[in-house]
Amino acid sequence: MNTLSYIPDFVSVSDLQRRYPELLKALKLGQKPLLVLKKNDLEAVILTPDFYRTMMDKVQEYEEKDALLSLANYTKEKKSKKLTKMKTAKELFE
């Protein structure tokens, strides 16, 4: 299984303001997210374009797999005559 494995770097907002060029260079070299903290709370996440594209490709891949699985389950249920036709949406919750 191909997964995104990394340990993100943390930086404070004030460090980001002071050391922006250095941190940006490290971000590009490391190819992992930079988590920006403000008073020890997550304020922002900075990603390289390549990392973002890789993440979005993974999201799309998982969504497609989920859709195919749902379609396969529907087909199986339909063949086994387990599906029922409902007249109202309220019947879903009864």
Domain range annotation of the chain: 7-47, 49-79
Token reading at 14: 């004030």
Q: What is the pLDDT along the chain (94 residues), one digit of tens a residue?
A: 445 556 778 999 999 999 999 999 989 888 789 999 999 999 999 999 999 999 999 999 999 999 999 999 999 988 998 888 888 988 888 7
Q: Which CATH architecture has domain 7-47?
A: 3-Layer(aba) Sandwich (3.40)
Residues in the chain: 94
58: helix, strand or coil? helix
pTM of the model: 0.66
CB-based contacts of 42: which residues, under 8 Å, 6+ apart?
35, 36
